[in-house]
Structure 1
Amino acid sequence: MNGLEYLRSLNQHSIKPGLERITEILHALGDPHLEIKTAVIAGTNGKTSTSAMLAEILFRAGFSTGLYTSPHLVRVGERIKINGNDIEDRNLNELIERVHGICKNKNIRPSYFELLTAAAFIFFKEQEVDFAVLETGMGGRWDAVNTARPLVCAITNISIDHTQHLGNTKEKIAAEKAGIAKHGIPLITGARDATLAVIEKICAEKKSPILKNREDFKCTENNGGFSYSGKVWEIENIIPAMRGRFQVSNAAIALACAETIATRGFDIPPEKAKEAIEKVRVGARMEYVRKNPPLIIDGAHNTESARRLAETIAENHPYERFVFIVAMSDDKNHAEFLRMIKPVCSRLILTRSKSGRSADAAKLLKFAPEGIEVETADNPEEALKKAEETSLPLCVTGSLFFAGEVRNLVL
């Protein structure tokens, strides 16, 4: 089998804690991760949006910029970009084959994510990018991208998710994600309260300077946009391309990262940063694939992201309630997710995605809130058909994998 076929043979949801395998693989490849200027972005929600914003800022400032995110929506090549362009399948196939060859020679059995991370590092090095923005896959401490030596790190926020791997409290999750902190490397965060205290303690132990949203930098909302105030930068009237108050928080983290990099001697004009935030979009993040009636696809997949989604829909459509098509992974808090979207939901259609982790619609039905019409569908196609018959505003959500499936059907 070729490289991409081998990659598809692996379970992309398999988690193998530890940095030993990826470190050995990268060393055999010449340690490409140590030859790239990087930024590492962790957090429960908003990692991809924040990473994309920072990459766009660096690109518009004139730097060749790599971006590594996960998961993908349709094509695995979406995870590895340079200057906004996905890696081509032939290039990714060749890189995977090279990494796989190293693994076979050394009798290493990498995870799906480790294999892709190694391929991304090689690609960015060989394409001679000026910077690479790296999103952690899930945690931080044992994440494959944590092998990098970044110029700046960030933790967007902390909420409950992936408890079987990261811990069952916000504090435990914060400790895992704060594992990206490095000696002398600034760490920027939007975390608050008890989780912030955990991150501050770990940063103090590692002598990593910490910059906190609302204290060391902040965004002030005004007239449909916001203004940014940092250590040096003052940027007025930014109108973000992506909707939602939570995107303002993501933009604050991205701008603080860019400003921190600029203080290291890199020429990043604030006006280019503003331009980037006003242009960059990420698929399946409050994405309007149709405006009349609205059809929104959003990858919300945990309680906090569901709350933010409902809040954003309420702000943008105060007089409308939506039909929701929902499919979720089996390990999520289904009751709380559905409870969060209830205030903006008139009808609920529950289904399942093709992902092996997807919960059955019958299981989701047990957690459906009272007071709204609920039905099930065997698959996304049937769910869409049922929803479109209503001619009402529609939102598809519950999982990034599911969002990708439906996006592929309607676009």
Structure 2
Amino acid sequence: MNYEQALEYMYSQLPMYQRVGGTAFKKDLTNTLALCEAMGNPQKKFKSIHIGGTNGKGSSSSFTAAILQRAGYKVGLYTSPHLQSFTERIRVNGQNLPEKEVVQFVEQYQELIEEVKPSFFEMTVAMAFEHFAKEQVDYAVIEVGLGGRLDSTNVIEPEACLITNIGMDHMDMLGDTPQAIAAEKAGIIKSKTPVVISQTQKEVSTVFMDKAKEVNAPITFGDRKYTVRDGVEGTIDVYKDGMLWGTEVNVGLKGKYQYYNLPGVLKLIDVLNPLLPKKIKKDDIIGGLENVVKLTAVKGRWQQLGTSPQIFCDVGHNEEGIKEIIKQIGSLSFQKLHMVLGVVKEKDLSKILTLLPEDATYYFCTPKVPRGLSATELQKAADQAGLKGIVIEDVKEAVATAKQEASVEDLIFIGGSTFVVAELDL
């Protein structure tokens, strides 16, 4: 079996949320626990940090990993979905899982897999745990896949947890109110384990506080300790307890929505520091934030792909994420806006399309996953929302057309779905 065959086995044998959606979502942890038990419980062989939320959990995971790396720790990082290579999901100090280890895992555990019948995600989580244990990482930063309480990652016993925010996404599986979704996300809060909430959101704060009280977990809110403001020339100024903590700090991920994520990450480091054998210094934090892309290889977060015209992409794909992208676009200077847009089938288009600017030119495309909504259907819905554009099914062809049509003073944005960004050359 080679790498391509191993991947094909994983994709064809096992349901995968990335490809098929909600039918791959398992409503309990039985399979993950069975896999880990049969593998000798690798998740108990390293220390971990668990990070969940609706938006920002991937960025927050990358920031946390980068800061720990900068402080000299060997750090595993588990994130999902991947953009271009499956091996991006499992990294150690920014290095992707070697392809040969994917093959070895499938070959070694094929009988177990066929007995347990785990989902794609459940098997990938077990693969990550095995790799981190084998690599003897000091800490593994584990991003929740979907929800929290019943997510496959929720078999770890972390040193601390971080929950970024709550938004109305995946309502078909997590609930149709902010409180219901928050309750699922709060499921990662563990007994006597400190938890940090990045943003104080009035409608859900009590959900987290009640859960923390129930399991006797110390809880703090990042934005009550830290605030982030614009600095000079694209930098940020950070305030701690209202006092200037860091000035002209360079952050490797440039989207202003990171201002919501950073207070949680900074507070998480405060919480972790007393538990660490080697303390994280202020220089480690600033260096980690600045070099997050280099240290973790994170992609697709307000990533600039070109100048003259300016070209940006972003994986933001729900109502809250799109709002922040529109704000970010509004902060830039350009003549005309071109938007290459694709989405997946289960998105509430009525909420997303009404947020988008009517004076942009749209290039509607179809992400190459079974869940991808056809560009023609997207165009029909967009037309009803007053958005005008053309259908170009292929993502790269749509980008190429936008480049041909744009002048050097224009702005091209590419997004709407993680799977649109996944088809770009990042």
What is the deviation of 1:244? 2.2
Aligned residue for 1:213? 222
- The within-5 A match list for 1:164-243 is 164-191=172-199, 192-223=201-232, 224-229=235-240, 234-243=245-254
Please say if residues 323 and 347 of structure 1, whose CA atoms lie closer than 8 Å, have aligned partners that are also in contact: yes
Structure 2: distance between partners of 1:66 and 1:94: 19
Aligned residue for 2:422? 404
Amino acid at match of 2:411: P
Amino acid at match of 2:417: S
* 1:185 partner SS: coil
Aligned residue for 1:7? 10
Aligned residue for 1:275? 287
| Deviation sequence 1:316-340 (CA, Å, 0-9, x none) | x144442001110100111322222
For structure 1, the residue ranges without an aligned partner over 5 or more in a row are: none
Please say if residues 251 and 277 of structure 1, whose CA atoms lie closer than 8 Å, have aligned partners that are also in contact: no
1:298 aligned to 2:302? no
Please say if residues 198 and 265 of structure 2, whose CA atoms lie closer than 8 Å, have aligned partners that are also in contact: no
Structure 1: distance between partners of 2:51 and 2:150: 14
Greater shift, 116-125 or 364-373, is seen at 364-373
Amino acid at match of 2:16: Q
Structure 1: distance between partners of 2:111 and 2:93: 28
Please say if residues 221 and 264 of structure 2, whose CA atoms lie closer than 8 Å, have aligned partners that are also in contact: no
1:16 aligned to 2:30? no
Summarize the Cα distance change of 1:353–1:101 in structure 2 as closer, same or farther, 3 Å threshold. Answer: same
Aligned residue for 1:289? 305
Greater shift, 333-342 or 85-94, is seen at 333-342
What is the deviation of 1:92? 2.1
Structure 2: distance between partners of 1:11 and 1:289: 33
For structure 2, the residue ranges without an aligned partner over 5 or more in a row are: 18-23
Amino acid at match of 1:11: P
What is the deviation of 1:381? 3.4
Structure 2: distance between partners of 1:279 and 1:120: 24
Aligned residue for 2:374? 360
1:322 aligned to 2:337? yes
* 2:284 partner SS: helix
Aligned residue for 1:47? 57
- The within-5 A match list for 1:81-230 is 81-104=91-114, 107-191=115-199, 192-223=201-232, 224-229=235-240
Structure 2: distance between partners of 1:233 and 1:78: 36
Match of 2:405 among 386, 390, 410: 390
Identity between Structure 1 and Structure 2 (%): 29
| Deviation sequence 1:158-200 (CA, Å, 0-9, x none) | 0000011101111111000000000111111124111112111
Amino acid at match of 1:212: F
What is the deviation of 1:228? 4.4
Greater shift, 189-198 or 235-244, is seen at 235-244
Structure 2: distance between partners of 1:270 and 1:336: 41
Match of 1:263 among 256, 269, 274: 274
Amino acid at match of 1:272: D
What is the deviation of 1:221? 4.1
What is the deviation of 1:249? 2.0
Aligned-pair Cα RMSD in Å: 2.0
Structure 1: distance between partners of 2:101 and 2:213: 42
| Aligned pairs, number | 404
Structure 2: distance between partners of 1:175 and 1:146: 14
Amino acid at match of 2:212: C
Match of 2:89 among 79, 92, 95: 79
What is the deviation of 1:222? 3.5
Structure 1: distance between partners of 2:25 and 2:42: 23
TM-score, length basis structure 2 = 0.90
Structure 1: distance between partners of 2:239 and 2:121: 35
